Amino acid sequence: MTRAIEARLVTSPANPEIKRIRGLALRKKREEEKLFVAEGLRHVTEALEAGWPLETLVYQAEAAQRPKLAEALAATGAAGGLCLEVTEAVLAKMTKRDNPQMVVGVLRQRWQALENLRPGKLWIALETVRDPGNLGTILRTADAVAADGVILIGETCDPYSPEAVRASMGSIVRVPLVRATLDQFLAWRAGWPGLVVGTHLSGQADYREVSYAAPVLLLMGNEQAGLTEVAAAACDRLVRIPMAGGADSLNLSVATAVMLFEIARDRLRLVP
């Protein structure tokens, strides 16, 4: 039986702990405290199942009877985390949403060091991605194909922003993340043991006609300009995705998904 955990009742958005969590909406505060916010009982539960203890668990009283919340409260309390019961008004102020989720978790960020990265089967490298929705969606797709992780190159948006975390639909806790400058990435790439492939307008190969023997590193550029020439030159193969209609390009997250499912095609099977 899950042991009941006593939570502190908070009714004012001016409470110091609530103000601290509200501050995590700012990238500067997230980077200072190395924390981020996950909204919703599903995301909180998935984080705990993935081995991410909660630093703080905030919930609305109406959610208290849910068995999964009781488990999350017990796990948070056992790990020394803080449990706060709040009103809907406090949650709305804290998340800046009119209809907030009834459960919010605060977790510690996790980053891997580039030099410790193991090739595995499939890594994704993203150069200066600007849209957190795109980034979160790419993390979700990376999770779907069981990619080994994502490398963020240069001035990329924050994967731990509320927008990116929401778009990842919980995958943020299952996809390892690495940060690197372009120079650091290029130096590390020199030792990559397999294929490095990128999409580019100058690519001569149809993406479906390339052999993607593991390990593969997929390199994708940003939403407006694509890969820089320096990054494109680091690829063994540059490919294109054929277009038949009037559009001459795809959204970055869509193009990345197309590439990832093609690369992983031979190891993806429907489960009966």
In contact, 149 and 177? CB cutoff 8 Å: yes
Mean pLDDT, to the nearest integer, of 165-177? 96
For residues 85 and 59, is the Cβ–Cβ distance under 8 A?
yes
What mean pLDDT is predicted for residues 224-252? 92
Q: What is the average per-residue pLDDT within 220-228?
A: 91
Task: Count CB neighbours of 10 within 10 A.
Answer: 18
Asked if pLDDT for residue 256 goes beyond 90, the answer is yes
pLDDT tier at 2 (50, 70, 90 boundaries)?
very low
Going across the sheet that includes 237-240, the strands are: 177-180, 149-153, 122-127, 216-220, 195-199, 237-240, 205-206
Mean pLDDT score, 232-248: 93
Which of helix, strand or coil describes residue 106? Answer: strand
User: Token digits for 89?
Assistant: 């008004």
pLDDT in tens, 118-153: 999 999 999 999 999 999 999 999 999 999 999 999
Q: pLDDT class for 64, splitting at 50, 70, 90?
A: confident
Kindly tell me if the per-residue pLDDT of 36 is higher than 80: yes
Confidence (pTM): 0.93
Contacts of 32 (CB under 8 A, 6+ apart): none
